[in-house]
Structure 1
């Protein structure tokens, strides 16, 4: 008997075994049997010969749905959840978002292995369904695929931010924003939630940097864009969208997904409107804000050759402005919300900030960039705020661009990877008195800022390090110094102090609170 005949007999018996009693009802035609043999052969071939990966271990996952931790019914913050799981399965483990494996990194050595030592393997972005539309299929910076086009867009945005910083304009924008914020706060006669006022501060600074605009409190355009930004924040903190887990659900979009799209589009249209206004009045020799810088960069790319225009067209101009404005506002006001709460809850810390600012700047002059090195204690407070109130516990998820490894385990190409920033900044193995708010942990014996601890990573690291870090740190530092210089902040009288984070899957925010302020004489 030939090899071909042996294989035919083998597949005939295999089909008979699989289909059992049904086999006798299958037509005996050559075509039918060939199709069956082909289907079974293909399936078995795929199962037997597909590449096998030794994924990191992990907890139980439900068929099709994936790991229960991702379900919207679970409200506990995923950073804390994954940190607990790591105590059982180790610093690297696997969970499932629907059918798709997700690798979670929970310790600094494995994080550094991925984002520093193997940066080229771990610098891509997840192609999550819900972000494809607002990012125009990954053509922005935040969600863009790593490559030549992405590097060009990031370079242009980074240059614009850097030019804004060195121009000294940030000092003016912060002084204007804080003075308007304090003026608006002083109008409140009862305890109030500071969130709208902190939004007002960050929107004024970012709108000034990006578009050259400024607002008065309760200005109609400010109220509109604040509402849009708040809607984006609520959409993003609402947990994992079902459409990202179960593809068939995309045929019937949920209200949560539609609201997500709507809020993103409103912020995009805001950025696009200002971009078009700038384009109409653009003068290459009169560059005054980030929009002008990005438009100038587009002209430069155009002169280098028409091929480059596909990499930085009008859509990319707006997406660049959209990314800087949206991300800068969201994380900054969330960090400030933690800062105001923690400073008000620790009057001794607030007094130390005020004494330091008074000694460096006095009471009349606002703190500026050249003062930052002398405002070490205030800087330590900011660092501790970012550690204690890790507003983005998992950062922005990454994707692997090729088959790679981590801690001896296999990681297939296209795998989503979470960097658990909450774990490394809130693990008692890394920090003494981890549950206490202690700015002094960031100072040396002389009261100056000590070298940055390896486990302090609020902006990420490597090729995907946060684009806005060079702006956010000095901006937040000077806002905190300026607010404490001008007012004394107290929590609402008679209300128990609660500095614990509220339950939320994606972001890490304090429970709503109210304050009172008193102008310092």
Structure 2
């Protein structure tokens, strides 16, 4: 009898296991029939599409995949599913028509490390805190940029950098001066620091920024292996922790010094503007707002403005000058326009922008052709939603392939040609912004600093061309070649120039 009971027990266990298996299989098949997932290449379980996501030119590879699978492509980054949008129609559907659905941010271990747990603006989750932070940062930027402050600051930094650059007698890499100019401009804007090309603080931060991009540009295994940092930290991860701690320590020190010398009637820089915002919240006795403006939050907002502005601005200017060297006829046309609009003695100002149409068109074309941030910042869905006829579950990472938009041959005529006239009317004025031109993204997470960025890019670019004529060394032909210092980032190959001081 005992043996019979044992056999019956085994049969019962087998029945339960069989029933469970059939139930899970039925649920899986039902899910497949119910949900229409975006197509994509086959991936290795847990490892994912390694050859794709480890490729620093992944944006080009995914754009090619979209020709086979359509504009909505799904790939696996380790165990993480990522949806990549590759044409304007699906980008507008997701980011504009369903903007709240796609307004979240995915959570990454490295992102949390950079932002002290998502306390910045760029990588923060879509919630009431983020909305308040964005409002405060936008107001602080507008307050600080009132009057002629921006153009005066840029003019002072340009004078400092151009004085050193004009002394170059041999061919040199102009990128070095672009980087110095942009980081000193941001030091002035954020911290009120005047230009000092030999400053240890400035040069150290620039080196840290370049190290983070070039040494860690291929990503981290810690982001795709859950819990890995609790078991084992790679050397790369430890190096990243050290560099981020150095940056955060510097920003905390700047904030502390600004608080000690703060005067609400004399706003010196962007840091002061943030302190003023907190003071106003305190005066209104709104404790929940004050809590969202703690020192940690202010440091992370400063980090966003400083480092996002540093990378995108200097990289865009690298592309702009590279194209000006490659197309001397366009360089000359810009200089003629600058001379006519600005004159011989004055520095460029924001009021000149409506009349610097050809120069701005050249900047826009450089932004189209140069993939500074091919995927922008990743989005995440905050609810179950759809795009392009496919079902996208809540919490899915979604990327915009800006490179694919900017290189779509169905939208751009002669897509591989540098052509600033794309953005101009027949009369030479700025035309409506092309729908497919989206370097600052779109929707709820559109770049906060776009208005300031576009103005400062024009002021700096026109200052370069107002003061110098850029040429390649005698006997050298400048052909634009791309290099990829980080995943989703392309820059022109380093090249040397000679400059002639223009007689202004």
Tell me which residue corresponds to 2:75.
Answer: 95
Deviations 1:414-457 (A, max 9, x none): 10001010001011111111111111111101000100000000
* Alpha-carbon separation, structure 1, partners of 2:487 and 2:92: 25
Q: CA RMSD in A?
A: 2.1
Are residue 167 (structure 1) and residue 138 (structure 2) matched?
Answer: no
TM-score by length of 2: 0.92
Which of 67, 76, 79 is the matching residue for 2:49?
67
TM-score, normalising length from structure 1?
Answer: 0.90
Structure 2 counterparts to residues 195-344 of structure 1, below 5 A: 195-235=175-215, 238-247=217-226, 249-250=228-229, 251-302=231-282, 303-344=284-325
Maintained 8 Å contact 1:225/1:270: no
For structure 1, list consecutive stretches of 5 or more residues without a partner in the other structure. Answer: 1-7, 18-36
**8 A contact 1:106–1:420 mirrored in 2:** yes
Shift of 1:252: 2.3
Question: Deviation per CA, 1:21-80, whole angstroms, max 9, x where unpaired?
Answer: xxxxxxxxxxxxxxxx5x8877765664475532101011111111124453x34x1211
Q: Does the 8 A contact of 1:342 with 1:385 survive in 2?
A: yes
Output the CA distance in 2 between the equivalents of 1:82 and 1:515: 35
Q: What residue in structure 2 maps to residue 31 of structure 1?
A: none
Listed as ranges, the gaps of 5+ residues in structure 2 are 1-6
| 2-structure distance, mates of 1:320, 1:375 | 32
Say if 1:182 and 1:402 are closer, same or farther in 2 by CA, change over 3 A: same
Deviation at 1:384, TM superposition (A): 0.4
Aligned residues: 490
8 Å Cα contact 1:398/1:418 also seen in 2: yes
Structure 1 distance, partners of 2:302, 2:238, is 23
After superposition, the C-alpha distances for 1:384-440 in whole angstroms (9 at most, x for unaligned) are 010010210000000111111111111011100010100010111111111111111
Q: CA deviation at 1:274?
A: 1.3
> Alpha-carbon deviations, 1:465-492, whole Å to 9, x = none?
0111111101011111111000111124
Q: Say if 2:137 and 2:301, in contact at 8 Å, map to a contact too.
A: yes
* Deviation string, structure 1 residues 321-353 (Cα, Å, up to 9, x no partner): 111011001110010111111101111011001
Residue 4 of structure 2: aligned partner: none
**Alignment partners' CA distance in 2, 1:490 and 1:274:** 40
Distance 1:465 1:498 in 2: 33
Correspondent of 1:454 among 431, 435, 449? 435
- When residues 263 and 490 of structure 1 are mapped into structure 2, their CA distance, relative to the original with a 3 A threshold, is farther
How far does residue 519 in structure 1 lie from its aligned partner after superposition? 0.4
* Aligned partner of residue 440 in structure 1, secondary structure: helix
> Is 2:160 aligned against 1:177?
no
Query: SS at 1:422's partner residue?
Result: helix
Larger radius of gyration: 1
Indicate the residue corresponding to 2:472 in structure 1.
491
Give the superposition deviation at 1:248. 5.6
Cα 1:299–1:413 shift into 2, 3 Å: same
1:156 to 115, 126, 136: 136
Q: In the TM superposition, what are the counterparts of 1:361-440 in structure 2 within 5 Å? A: 361-440=342-421
Go from structure 1 to structure 2 and tell me whether the alpha carbon gap of 1:258 and 1:167 turns closer, same or farther (over 3 Å shift). Answer: farther
Question: What displacement does 1:290 show?
Answer: 1.0
For the 8 Å contact 2:53–2:77, the answer to whether it is kept is no
Distance 2:240 2:202 in 1: 20
Match of 1:510 among 478, 492, 504: 492
The 1-side partners of 2:179 and 2:359 are apart by 21
Q: Output the CA distance in 2 between the equivalents of 1:190 and 1:196.
A: 14
- What do residues 121-169 of structure 1 show as CA deviations (whole Å, max 9, x unaligned)? 1001110121111211111111100110001111111111112222320
For the residues of structure 2 that align with 1:61 and 1:467, how far apart are their CA atoms?
36
- Please state how far the C-alpha of 1:184 moved relative to its aligned partner: 1.4
Equivalent position of 1:28 in the other structure: none
